[in-house]
Amino acid sequence: MSKGRQAAPQLMDLAGMDVLLVRKNVKNINLRVRRDGSVAVSAPRFVSLTEIERFLESKRAWIHRAQERIAHEPGDALEAATPFQQKAWKEVVSAFVPALVEKWEPILGVKAGKLAYRNMKSRWGSCQPSTGRICINTRLALYPPECLEYVVVHELCHLQERGHGPGFYALMDAALPGWREARDRLKAPPMTHL
Ligand SMILES: [Zn+2]
């Protein structure tokens, strides 16, 4: 047994989640959702796994919200992009999005408004249900095409369902059953050759 103050983190399945658990000399159980969407917990040594699971259960909604937020965030790893690169991303994305919107509008029974393209730090896309305006992050040029399609479908679904409630996910599941894979790909680093 280690005599150090902190044991090595252990990846465990707790409350049905993959949790990186570390035992520490802390007073309370601490919970963090990391940049890749995984859950990290530090807990005092005397707290049982059952108690930790109960704690995670009580935080399930919060964890889910934090993971959703991260799924919408491109992060800031690409801040150093040159104007030339940014222009190239915009050209790639704006070349594909109108056809995707045209393909999905009749399937989803919605009509998009103005399409906009921006290099955004905090969101993959956004949608204004009142005007139908959809803005797509140009950084999607750095990800596989199914990621772009996932974001387009996600934003179009918001024209039917504003929030991320069960109705929204039912729509996404029916329209694009593989959407979770695309979402997970967006949590990983981009391709960097563009
Ligand atoms: Zn959304």
Q: Ligand 1 centre and the CA of 80: distance in Å?
A: 26
Please report which confidence band the pLDDT of residue 73 belongs to, taking 50, 70 and 90 as the band edges: low
**98 and 181 inside one domain:** yes
Q: Is the pLDDT of residue 186 over 80?
A: yes
Q: Ligand 1 centre and the CA of 55: distance in Å?
A: 27
CATH at residue 123:
3.30.2010.10
Number of domains in the chain: 2
**29 and 114 inside one domain:** no
Q: Ligand 1 centre and the CA of 154: distance in Å?
A: 6
**175 and 108 inside one domain:** yes
Q: Ligand 1 centre and the CA of 39: distance in Å?
A: 21
Nearest-angstrom CA–CA distance, 128 and 115: 11
**99 and 166 inside one domain:** yes
Q: Ligand 1 centre and the CA of 123: distance in Å?
A: 9
**55 and 124 inside one domain:** no
**51 and 109 inside one domain:** no
Q: Ligand 1 centre and the CA of 38: distance in Å?
A: 20
**151 and 180 inside one domain:** yes
Assigned domain for 24 exists: yes
Assigned domain for 130 exists: yes
**100 and 150 inside one domain:** yes
Q: Ligand 1 centre and the CA of 95: distance in Å?
A: 22
Q: Ligand 1 centre and the CA of 78: distance in Å?
A: 22
Interval 131-153: pLDDT, tens: 999 999 999 999 999 999 999 99
Assigned domain for 5 exists: no
**104 and 178 inside one domain:** yes
Q: Ligand 1 centre and the CA of 42: distance in Å?
A: 30
Look at the pTM and tell me if it is higher than 0.95: no
Q: Ligand 1 centre and the CA of 88: distance in Å?
A: 26
Q: Ligand 1 centre and the CA of 163: distance in Å?
A: 7
Please say which residue of 49, 71, 93 terminates a domain.
71
**31 and 116 inside one domain:** no
Q: Ligand 1 centre and the CA of 53: distance in Å?
A: 29
| Greater model confidence, 52 or 4 | 52
Q: Is the pLDDT of residue 20 over 80?
A: yes
**45 and 132 inside one domain:** no
Q: What is residue 2's predicted lDDT score, i.e. its pLDDT?
A: 44
Assigned domain for 117 exists: yes
**102 and 179 inside one domain:** yes
Assigned domain for 78 exists: no
Domain that holds residue 23: 10-71
Q: Ligand 1 centre and the CA of 69: distance in Å?
A: 9
Q: Ligand 1 centre and the CA of 165: distance in Å?
A: 10
